């Protein structure tokens, strides 16, 4: 290990253990993952036609490490001409090869990509953590394995589409324009790419501007997998680039994950164009704890539901509803648990809560938390040291929250929990459904009948029972109401990338 690297490790170890010693009776020795495994280039071009090319726009922008504010690399900003090149390249690749390739051949490439993701998983995990701020234990145990699993899963469908939709004659749509957010950069890329490729579409993908690096590493894997050039194109940039992708006339299918505001802009922009559209937007999930629930497990699930990934999760359990009779014990255990969460260096394997993804997101969280205090809710934050540089926010919970408070209505997208109470299942249901969103929900109870009663009445696309934030490539994910429409994952996730002869749209 180079000397500079070792000194840095030593410095971080010392800083982390002294911070921990102050607030916990026993301290874990810090265990930082080495960043030596990743090689970050000074500059990244656009990935078009199987190669990295300079942007015609001539513009570049920096991506930084939110835990240190250090600029990691310069990334090309795709202008309209660049997007046009990416889309026409994707179109040509579709017409010349991909569209007519047998499913079993498409699957071979996808299996290669999946295996490469597994083989290079440590590299991907470290890079994801450096570029986005999430704890290494999450990028290592959640993001990267799930991304590989998505490629494996959809590779399995590629040659079985006729069985998936018997008698319906499924056909690929054409070029998919896909825009993804910064909270699960690699995983969202996998969610978008895998079903599109399995069904025979080609792709122009735009990663989020604060987290482009793992998508660009994936481009390298795609090159190594020998995917025909142009089948996957990756263009970096911010909102304007995204807008150019989704409105390009040769894009047949648009898939977007991000904020409800941008989702609405996109929906307006593609209305009447004949483009297929799926939107996966914000959420304000209810996590509902009944008095008969196993409380210790529920507390762990609540913590996982909102503090996981700094609350940068669209399906985060950001509204906690506790039955009045168990409010005191749940709150007490929750506060105790919050005090033991380790906030800090995302590369440390012990870290529970990492850095907030960007300064802009930090400001948004701060502003909403201030509104909670001003509107009269009671705030609780454990005492913990935060690193001097970087973007950080303490795990926070609010009690005394009214349904009218902004913190109970708006998506905060940070580690902030609003706690409310209820007396009867009917009241829990009414309060939980009282939101413009409908992405996910959680129910904690020992009674199977109550789980079924609640889940059939909750207006949410995904409902977890006695657990929270669990994902699997075989189960569909998506929302109701302002959380969007269309499903990703599972058999359902194939449909948005297909046309069916019976619809009279194919051909
Ligand atoms: P955003 O919706 O602005 O960004 C998501 C993606 O869309 C990024 O790649 C961005 O470059 C792109 N984009 C922005 N404007 C666009 C446009 N007009 N046309 C096409 N693409 C466009 O989200 P954000 O500003 O990064 O975050 C704001 C809020 O959105 C967060 O605080 C959070 O509430 C929510 N959010 C939700 C999710 C989710 O998974 N549902 C993910 C990220 C953010
Ligand atoms: Mn970054």
Condensed to tens digits (0 to 9), the pLDDT of residues 411-455 reads: 999 999 999 999 999 999 999 999 999 999 999 999 999 999 999
Q: Is 315 a catalytic residue?
A: no
Distance CA 490, CA 495 (A): 10
The pTM (predicted TM-score) of the whole model is 0.94
Condensed to tens digits (0 to 9), the pLDDT of residues 257-298 reads: 999 999 999 999 999 999 999 999 999 999 999 999 999 999
* The pLDDT of residue 234 is above 80: yes
The structure tokens listed for 376 are 């009269």
Question: Considering every ligand atom, which ligand is closest to the CA of 346?
Answer: 2
* The pLDDT of residue 405 is above 60: yes
The percentage of residues in the chain with a pLDDT greater than 90, rounded to a whole number, is 92
Residue 225: per-residue pLDDT: 98
- Average pLDDT over every residue of 168-181: 97
Q: What share of the chain is helix, strand, coil (3-state, %, to 5)?
A: 45, 20, 40
Query: Quick one: how many helices (H) and strands (E) in the chain?
Result: 17, 20
Probe residue for ligand 1, chosen from 63, 178, 189, 262 as the CB with the greatest number of ligand atoms within 8 Å: 262
Kind plus residue range of the DSSP H or E element containing 195 = helix 185-198
Q: Whose CA is nearest to atom 9 of ligand 1?
A: 208
- Contact at 8 Å (CB) between 106 and 201? no
- Contact at 8 Å (CB) between 201 and 173? yes
CA of 30 to the centre of ligand 1 (A): 34
Q: What is the 8-class DSSP label of residue 488?
A: B
Kind plus residue range of the DSSP H or E element containing 178 = strand 175-179
Distance CA 16, CA 2 (A): 21
pLDDT confidence band for 29 (50 / 70 / 90): confident
CA of 260 to the centre of ligand 1 (A): 8
Q: Where in the chain is CATH 3.40.309.10?
A: 286-473
Q: Where in the chain is CATH 3.40.605.10?
A: 43-281+485-499
Q: Is 314 a catalytic residue?
A: yes
Q: Which CATH architecture has domain 286-473?
A: 3-Layer(aba) Sandwich (3.40)
Residue 290, number of CB atoms within 10 A of its CB: 22
- Average pLDDT over every residue of 333-339: 96
* The pLDDT of residue 317 is above 70: yes
Residue 506: per-residue pLDDT: 45
Residue 156: per-residue pLDDT: 98
Domain at 43-281+485-499: CATH code: 3.40.605.10
Q: What is the mean pLDDT of the chain?
A: 95
Condensed to tens digits (0 to 9), the pLDDT of residues 78-137 reads: 999 999 999 999 999 999 999 999 999 999 999 999 999 999 999 999 999 999 999 999
Site residues for ligand 1, CB cut-off 6 Å = 179-183, 206, 208-209, 238-239, 242-243, 246, 257-259, 262, 265-266, 280-282, 314, 361, 364, 411, 413
């Amino acid at each position: 290990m180079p000397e500079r690297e070792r000194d840095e490790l030593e410095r971080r170890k010392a800083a982390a253990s002294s911070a921990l010693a102050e607030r916990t009776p026993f301290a874990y020795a810090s265990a930082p993952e080495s960043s030596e495994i990743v090689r970050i280039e000074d500059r990244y071009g656009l990935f078009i036609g199987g190669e990295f090319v300079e942007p015609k726009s001539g513009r570049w922008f920096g991506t930084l490490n939110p835990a240190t504010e250090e600029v990691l690399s310069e990334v090309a900003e795709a202008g309209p001409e660049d997007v046009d090149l990416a889309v026409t390249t994707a179109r040509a690749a579709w017409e010349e090869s991909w569209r007519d390739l047998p499913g079993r051949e498409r699957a071979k490439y996808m299996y290669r990509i999946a295996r490469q993701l597994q083989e290079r998983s440590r590299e991907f995990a470290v890079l994801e953590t450096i570029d986005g701020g999430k704890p290494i234990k999450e990028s290592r145990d959640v993001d990267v394995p799930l991304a590989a699993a998505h490629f494996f899963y959809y590779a399995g469908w590629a040659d079985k589409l006729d069985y998936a939709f018997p008698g319906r004659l499924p056909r690929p749509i054409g070029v998919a324009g896909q825009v993804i957010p910064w909270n699960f950069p690699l995983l969202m890329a996998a969610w978008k790419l895998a079903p599109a490729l399995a069904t025979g579409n080609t792709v122009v993908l735009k990663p989020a501007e604060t987290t482009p690096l793992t998508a660009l590493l994936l481009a390298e894997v795609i090159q190594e997998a020998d995917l025909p050039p142009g089948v996957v194109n990756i263009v970096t940039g911010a909102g304007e680039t995204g807008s150019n992708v989704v409105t390009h006339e040769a894009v047949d299918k648009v898939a977007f994950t991000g904020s409800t505001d941008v989702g609405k802009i996109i929906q307006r922009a593609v209305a009447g164009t004949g483009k297929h559209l799926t939107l996966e937007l914000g959420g304000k999930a209810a996590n509902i704890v009944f008095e008969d629930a196993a409380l210790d497990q529920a507390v762990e699930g609540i913590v996982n539901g909102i503090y996981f990934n700094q609350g940068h999760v669209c399906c985060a359990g950001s509204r906690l509803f506790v039955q009045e009779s168990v409010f005191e014990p749940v709150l007490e255990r929750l506060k105790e648990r919050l005090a033991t969460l380790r906030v800090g260096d995302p590369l440390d394997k012990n870290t529970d809560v990492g850095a907030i993804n960007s300064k802009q997101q930090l400001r948004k969280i701060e502003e909403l938390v201030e509104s909670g205090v001003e509107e009269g809710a009671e705030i609780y934050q454990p005492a913990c040291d935060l690193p001097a540089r970087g973007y950080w926010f303490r795990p926070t919970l609010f009690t005394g929250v009214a349904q009218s408070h902004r913190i109970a209505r708006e998506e905060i997208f940070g580690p902030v929990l609003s706690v409310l109470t209820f007396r009867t299942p009917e009241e829990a249901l009414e309060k939980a459904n009282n939101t413009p969103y409908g992405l996910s929900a959680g129910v904690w109870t020992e009674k199977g009948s109550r789980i079924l009663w609640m889940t059939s009445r909750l207006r949410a696309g995904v409902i977890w029972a006695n657990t929270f934030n669990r994902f699997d490539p075989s189960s569909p994910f998506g929302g109701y109401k302002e959380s969007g429409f269309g499903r990703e994952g599972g058999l359902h996730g194939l449909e948005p990338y297909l046309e069916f002869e019976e619809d009279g749209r194919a051909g």
